[in-house]
Amino acid sequence: MSVAIRDAWIVTQNPNRDVLKGDLLIEDGLVREIGDVRSGADTDIDASGDIVLPGLINTHTHVAMAIMKGMADDLPFPDFLARTFSIDSKRTPKDIKCGAELGCLEMIRSGTTTFVDLYYSEDVIAGAVEASGLRGILSWTVLDQEFTTQSGKPMDNCRRFCESFRGRERILPAVGLQGVYVCSSGTFVEARDYALENRLLLHFHLSETRREVNDLKKREGMRPVEYLDKLKFLGKTGLAAHAAWLTLNEVRILGRNGTSISTCPVSNMKLATGGVAPIPEMVVAGVNVSVGTDGSATNNSLDMFGEIKTLGLLQKSSRWDPSILKAQQLLDFATIGGAKAVGLESSIGSIEIGKKADLVIMDGKSPNLNPLRRENVVSNVVYSSSCQNVKSVLCDGRLLMKGREVLTLAEGKVVDAAVDCVRDLMG
């Protein structure tokens, strides 16, 4: 199947960060031509005046919690945890499937084409991801037996999932760690060894709250990054979510080990867990930065456009410096930074010939994106856009949404099923 996209502003995110005016030709899931495309295609999209971006990459979420939005809002963090754990413990495979489909639908509509998930029952979630056409890096959550509600040993469950789903086209199994507060050193080492042997991503929560840091210091005499470094857990295949409560020494350790981070500003601000991730220091130390929304119980949204704007504003406001992070860097974090975080920078994250055609077409005629010219396209995308501007989405060259019509999921049925699941779950 071939697709031609005509006469658009193309935000390539290539090494030169070129913004071009022209066409794209997609064949067999890959970008084949950029510029003046004269050949025909099976599907021709008139994108005159529109903006084409690489598909956004959400590097930390819990997609099946999409049906849990609004269930634990405006609560102190301990009360929030108690309520979400109580609801989560009642969930059935049907609930998880409904939540995953709803979350995938929301991500398609908001321009995300690849996401990293951290949850149990990733086998159920994988079915929803495959139906949606998105690319999912699905990390089965591993933690100590004494803390889990999973049936069986979490690490064994993770192994079974990874082995069962190895080689799928858009499902990439991964190993997830809940965090230092429920994972012993033995659990970290076992997970690390399995991931390294099988070339899998290691995704884990890190220094999300001050209590998490202080409790580990009391127990081990070290901060979380120092502790994981001592275990030789950190490395280039590691992706740490949140990373808000870090010292400069910890930032340097992450940079030295090549560990990526996924910053989740909206979730951390909404939960009022404090801490502003030291993103500028990470950039200086060579830490690869990406962006995640976290789950819908904490963020209430999977909108990456809102996330990157909030990230920029938070850093500027907290540093009293409007230049501390620029629009181009923020877009980098959500595209090529995300691709590098999951080890896919050679195939996604930018619009280049030979790369996968993961693309988002935004309505360039929308009032909130205008006036539009080459010099302000990136700034307008970062600071002025919203998920409502997304018109069409492709993943692996396949149209998932065209002209705001989702083609892979039956939107009405997905929403109705989610409503029914919540009614049953809440009694």
Q: How far is CA 300 from the centre of its chain?
A: 14
Q: Residue 30: which of 303, 356, 328 has the closest Cα? A: 356
How high is the mean pLDDT of the chain?
A: 96
| Cβ contacts of 345 within 8 Å, gap of 6 or more | 336, 339
The model's pTM is 0.97
Q: pLDDT tens for residues 321-338? A: 999 999 999 999 999 999
Quick one: average pLDDT of 10-38? 97
Q: pLDDT tens for residues 116-170? A: 999 999 999 999 999 999 999 999 999 999 888 888 899 999 999 999 999 998 9
Rounded Cα distance between 55 and 346, Å, is 14
Q: What is the CA radius of gyration of the chain?
A: 21
Quick one: average pLDDT of 41-69? 96
CB atoms within 10 A of CB 356: 27
Rounded Cα distance between 7 and 223, Å, is 52
Q: pLDDT tens for residues 402-413? A: 999 999 999 999
State the Cα angle at 298 between 412 and 316, rounded to 5°. Answer: 115
According to CATH, the topology of domain 56-341 is TIM Barrel (3.20.20)
Dihedral angle sign, alpha carbons of residues 160, 165, 167, 173: negative
Cβ atoms of 53 and 362 closer than 8 Å: yes
> From residue 220, how far is each of 198, 243, 375 by CA, in Å?
30, 19, 51
φ/ψ region of 392 (left if φ > 0, alpha if ψ in -120 to 50, else beta) reads: beta
Q: Which segment of 123-132, 269-278, 289-298 scores lowest on mean pLDDT?
A: 269-278
Structure-model confidence comparison of residues 40 and 334, the more confident one: 334
Rounded Cα distance between 32 and 50, Å, is 20
Q: Can you give the pLDDT at residue 1?
A: 85
Rounded Cα distance between 407 and 381, Å, is 25
Full DSSP string of 5-42 = EEEEEEE---TT--EEEEEEEEETTEEEEEE---S--S
Q: Can you give the pLDDT at residue 294?
A: 96
Q: pLDDT tens for residues 199-245? A: 999 999 999 999 999 999 999 999 999 999 999 999 999 999 999 99
CB atoms within 10 A of CB 325: 24
| Cβ contacts of 416 within 8 Å, gap of 6 or more | none
Q: In sequence order, what E strands does 284-421 have?
A: 289-291, 359-362, 390-395, 398-402, 405-406
pLDDT band, residue 35 (cuts 50/70/90): very high
Quick one: average pLDDT of 416-421? 93
3-state secondary structure of 149: coil
Rounded Cα distance between 210 and 104, Å, is 32
Q: Can you give the pLDDT at residue 427?
A: 66
Domains in the chain: boundaries: 2-54+351-406, 56-341
Q: Can you give the pLDDT at residue 170?
A: 95
Q: pLDDT tens for residues 370-392? A: 999 999 999 999 999 999 999 99
CATH classification of 2-54+351-406, choosing from 3.30.465.10, 2.30.40.10, 2.40.50.100, 2.60.40.290? 2.30.40.10
Please check whether the two domains, 2-54+351-406 and 56-341, share a CATH topology.
Answer: no
Q: Can you give the pLDDT at residue 426?
A: 77
Q: At what angle do helices 122-132 and 93-109 cross, to 10 degrees?
A: 40
pLDDT band, residue 424 (cuts 50/70/90): confident
Reply yes or no on whether the pLDDT at 419 is more than 70.
yes
3-state secondary structure of 116: strand
Please identify which residue in the block is written with the tokens 């029952």. Answer: 121
CB atoms within 10 A of CB 306: 17
Rounded Cα distance between 407 and 399, Å, is 7
Q: pLDDT tens for residues 89-113? A: 778 899 999 999 999 999 999 999 9
